[in-house]
């Protein structure tokens, strides 16, 4: 390990949290290049969470941090989680799991953003698609691109709205009205994001998400899967997280929420999403 990482402990009982934090503080005293305690999800590079606390899973899923997380306990874990350990709590095993995640941070782009195909890493790095409202900035040399997006929805209005929004943000958009077509496309094309409508036409969208996870895109790396739901619901969010969804949006869509989600998962977009011209009042 060549750098210090901030780690947050989420959803544990006070005694468990105190014990874990004490262990990592003592370890940091012996090895100054390691881990320091973060205050919350936003303040931390990595997360250790209690998988038996639905509120913790919900908070991590909402923050798009599941791939940066070591879950402890519980009979199962979301498909996108960084690591899953059984109870009883073993601080040494947690440290080893964090070491593995930290190593990924050093050898890859930050977790939650490195989703594009391996083939792109050897290709000529280019610009975003032409965009009227957003800067068409070049990517950092060697940076993986997430500029192709698949939208899966039975609703023509929803497909059209996302097509307009995402195109305006500089992405190339492919539309699919049914899950079967979406899976075919994912097998032959690499996507940075897949926006997946939930509960449409009687289809088990959670199973479709799992299928997309089992069939990574052409370069072998899974896309960022965004669940699209028609109502706010903690249970639906948790189910989507366990199915492997990285993020969750409710419809009708709020463009500011969409922009925040894109910036959170796409490092290149994060640098350039501010409009190049003043916003009209």
Give the pLDDT means over successive 10-residue stretches in the chain (281 positions).
82 92 85 80 91 85 83 84 91 93 65 38 42 42 65 91 89 90 84 85 73 63 82 77 85 85 74 44 41
> What residue numbers bound the domain in which 34 lies?
5-107
Q: What is the pLDDT, as a whole number, of residue 194?
A: 92
What is the value of pTM for the model shown?
A: 0.54
Residue 12 lies in a domain: yes
Q: What is the pLDDT, as a whole number, of residue 112?
A: 38
Q: What is the pLDDT, as a whole number, of residue 39?
A: 84
Q: Are residues 57 and 183 in the same domain?
A: no
Neighbours of 126 (CB within 10 A): 11
CA dihedral sign of residues 189, 195, 201, 203:
positive
Token digits of residue 239: 């189910």
Q: Are residues 175 and 42 in the same domain?
A: no
Choose one of 49, 73, 107: the last residue of a domain: 107
Q: Are residues 83 and 38 in the same domain?
A: yes
Residue 211 lies in a domain: yes
Residue 91 lies in a domain: yes
Choose one of 78, 107, 136: the last residue of a domain: 107
Choose one of 107, 138, 153: the last residue of a domain: 107
Q: What is the pLDDT, as a whole number, of residue 142?
A: 43
Q: Are residues 101 and 155 in the same domain?
A: no
CB 78 within 8 A of CB 210: no
Q: What is the pLDDT, as a whole number, of residue 133?
A: 43
Residue 280 lies in a domain: no
Residue 112 lies in a domain: no
Q: Are residues 37 and 137 in the same domain?
A: no
Residue 281 lies in a domain: no
Q: Are residues 35 and 143 in the same domain?
A: no
Query: Measured in whole angstroms, how far is the alpha carbon of residue 135 from the centre of its chain?
Result: 23
Q: Are residues 99 and 141 in the same domain?
A: no
Residue 172 lies in a domain: yes
Q: Report the number of distinct structural domains present in the chain.
A: 2
Question: Which CATH number is 50's domain given?
Answer: 3.40.50.2300
Three-class SS of residue 196? Answer: strand
Residue 136 lies in a domain: yes
Q: Are residues 130 and 169 in the same domain?
A: yes
Q: Are residues 125 and 47 in the same domain?
A: no
Rounded (10°) angle between helices 14-30 and 91-107: 60
| Burial of residue 154 (number of CB atoms within 10 Å: 0-12, 13-18, 19+) | middle
DSSP secondary structure, 104-115, as one string: HHHHSSPTTT--
Question: Roughly how many angstroms between the first and final C-alpha of the chain, as a whole number?
Answer: 49
Q: Are residues 124 and 194 in the same domain?
A: yes
Q: Are residues 261 and 149 in the same domain?
A: yes
């Amino acid at each position: 390990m060549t750098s210090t990482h901030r780690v947050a402990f989420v959803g544990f009982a006070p005694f468990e949290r105190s014990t874990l934090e004490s262990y990592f503080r003592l370890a940091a005293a012996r090895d100054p290049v390691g881990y320091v305690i973060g205050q919350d999800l936003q303040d931390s590079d990595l997360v250790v969470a209690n998988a038996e606390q639905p509120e913790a899973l919900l908070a991590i899923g909402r923050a798009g941090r599941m791939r940066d997380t070591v879950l402890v306990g519980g009979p199962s874990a979301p498909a996108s989680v960084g690591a899953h350990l059984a109870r009883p709590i073993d601080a040494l095993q947690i440290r080893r799991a964090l070491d593995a995640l930290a190593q990924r941070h050093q050898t890859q782009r930050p977790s939650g953003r490195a989703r594009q195909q391996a083939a792109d890493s050897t290709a000529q790095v280019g610009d975003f698609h032409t965009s009227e409202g957003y800067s068409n900035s070049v990517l950092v040399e060697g940076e993986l691109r997430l500029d192709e997006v698949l939208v899966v929805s039975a609703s023509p209005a929803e497909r059209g709205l996302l097509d307009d929004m995402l195109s305006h943000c500089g992405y190339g958009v492919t539309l699919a009205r049914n899950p079967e077509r979406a899976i075919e496309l994912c097998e032959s094309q690499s996507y940075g994001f897949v926006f997946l409508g939930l509960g449409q036409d009687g289809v088990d969208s959670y199973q479709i998400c799992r299928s997309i996870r089992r069939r990574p895109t052409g370069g072998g790396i899974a896309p960022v899967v965004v669940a699209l739901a028609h109502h706010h619901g903690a249970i639906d969010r948790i189910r989507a997280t366990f199915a492997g969804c990285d993020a969750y949006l409710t419809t009708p869509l709020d463009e500011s929420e969409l922009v925040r989600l894109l910036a959170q998962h796409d490092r290149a977009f994060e640098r350039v999403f501010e409009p190049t011209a003043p916003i009209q009042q």
